[in-house]
Structure 1
Amino acid sequence: MKRKMMAAILAASMMVMTVTGCGDNRKVADDANQAESTETADSAETESSEAETEATEEATEDATEDASEAETEDASADASEEATEEATDVDTEGKEYIIGISQFAEHGSLDNCREGFLQGLANEGIVEGENLTVHFQNAQADTGTASQISDAFVADGVDLICGIATPSAMSAYNSALGTTVPVIYSAVSDPVAAELANEDGTPVGNITGTSDALAVTEQLEMIRKMLPDAKKIGILYTTSETNSESTIAQYKEHAADYGFEIVDSGINTLADLDMAAADLVTKVDCINNLTDNTVVSGLQTVLSYANEQKIPVFGSEVEQVKVGCVAAMGLDYVKLGVQTGEMAAKVLKGEKQASEMPFEVINEPSLYVNTAAAEGIEMQLDEEFVSTAAEVFDSIAAN
Structure 2
Amino acid sequence: MKISKKLIACFLTLMIVGTSVVGCSSKEESEATSSEAKTEDVLNDAEEEASTTDKVFKIGVNQLVQHDALDASYQGFIDGLKEAGYEEGKNIKIDYQNAQGDQSNANTIATKFVNDKVDLILAIATPSAQAAANATKDIPILVTAVTDPASAKLVATNEAPGGNVSGTSDLTPVKEQMNLLTKLLPEAKKVAMLYSSSEVNSEIQVEMAKEAAKELGLETVDASVSNSNEIQQVVQSLVGKVDAIYAPTDNLIASGMQTVSLVAKPAGIPIICGESGMVDNGGLATYGIDYYNLGKLTAAQAVKIFEGTGTTAQMPIEYLSDSELSVLINGELAKELGITIPDEFKDQVK
Fold shared, TM-score > 0.5 on shorter chain: yes
Of 354, 369, 377, the residue aligned with 2:337 is: 377
Of 147, 157, 164, the residue aligned with 1:206 is: 164
Tell me which residue corresponds to 1:169.
129
Q: CA deviation at 1:323?
A: 2.3
Secondary structure, aligned partner of 1:275:
helix
Of 232, 255, 258, the residue aligned with 1:300 is: 258
Specify which structure has the bigger relative contact order, considering alpha-carbon pairs within 8 angstroms and separated by 6 or more residues.
Answer: 2
1:108 partner amino acid: D
Q: CA deviation at 1:199?
A: 4.0
1:156 aligns with 2:116: yes
**CA separation in 2, counterparts of 1:311 and 1:293?**
21
Q: CA deviation at 1:162?
A: 0.3
Question: Is the Cα contact below 8 Å between 2:257 and 2:282 reproduced in 1?
Answer: no
Tell me which residue corresponds to 1:136.
96
Which structure is larger by alpha-carbon Rg, 1 or 2?
A: 1
Question: Is the Cα contact below 8 Å between 1:187 and 1:211 reproduced in 2?
Answer: yes
Tell me which residue corresponds to 1:69.
none
**CA separation in 1, counterparts of 2:83 and 2:233?**
45
Alignment of 1:238-317 (within 5 A): 238-317=196-275
1:386 aligns with 2:349: no
Rate the CA distance shift 1:240–1:255 in 2: closer, same or farther, 3 A. same
1:122 aligns with 2:82: yes
Per-residue CA distance 1:51-98 (angstroms, 9 max, x = gap): xxxxxxxxxxxxxxxxxxxxxxxxxxxxxxxxxxx99x9579612111
**CA separation in 1, counterparts of 2:346 and 2:285?**
10
Secondary structure, aligned partner of 2:279:
helix
Question: Is the Cα contact below 8 Å between 1:234 and 1:281 reproduced in 2?
Answer: no
1:355 aligns with 2:310: no
1:303 partner amino acid: S
Q: CA deviation at 1:355?
A: 1.2
How many residues align structurally? 302
Secondary structure, aligned partner of 1:233:
strand
| Greater mean alpha carbon deviation, residues 120-129 or residues 207-216 | 120-129
Question: Is the Cα contact below 8 Å between 2:183 and 2:342 reproduced in 1?
Answer: no
Of 345, 353, 368, the residue aligned with 2:328 is: 368
Of 289, 307, 314, the residue aligned with 1:331 is: 289
Secondary structure, aligned partner of 2:339:
coil
Question: Is the Cα contact below 8 Å between 1:102 and 1:150 reproduced in 2?
Answer: yes
**CA separation in 1, counterparts of 2:338 and 2:53?**
58
Question: Is the Cα contact below 8 Å between 1:106 and 1:140 reproduced in 2?
Answer: yes
- Runs (4 or more) in structure 1 with deviation over 3 Å come to 89-93
2:193 partner amino acid: I
Of 162, 168, 183, the residue aligned with 1:225 is: 183
Q: Structure 1 regions of 5+ residues with no counterpart?
A: 1-85, 394-399
2:185 partner amino acid: L
Calculate the TM-score normalised by the size of structure 2: 0.82
Of 28, 47, 58, the residue aligned with 1:98 is: 58
Question: Is the Cα contact below 8 Å between 2:162 and 2:312 reproduced in 1?
Answer: no
Calculate the TM-score normalised by the size of structure 1: 0.72
In terms of fraction of residues, the more helix-rich structure is 1
Question: Is the Cα contact below 8 Å between 2:149 and 2:158 reproduced in 1?
Answer: no
Tell me which residue corresponds to 1:237.
195
Q: CA deviation at 1:171?
A: 0.5
Question: Is the Cα contact below 8 Å between 2:184 and 2:339 reproduced in 1?
Answer: no
Tell me which residue corresponds to 2:69.
109
Rate the CA distance shift 1:248–1:214 in 2: closer, same or farther, 3 A. same
Q: Structure 2 regions of 5+ residues with no counterpart?
A: 1-45
Rate the CA distance shift 1:121–1:92 in 2: closer, same or farther, 3 A. farther
Per-residue CA distance 1:252-297 (angstroms, 9 max, x = gap): 2221111212211121111111111111243211111111111111
Secondary structure, aligned partner of 2:150:
coil
**CA separation in 1, counterparts of 2:274 and 2:88?**
30
RMSD of the alignment, in Å?
Answer: 1.8
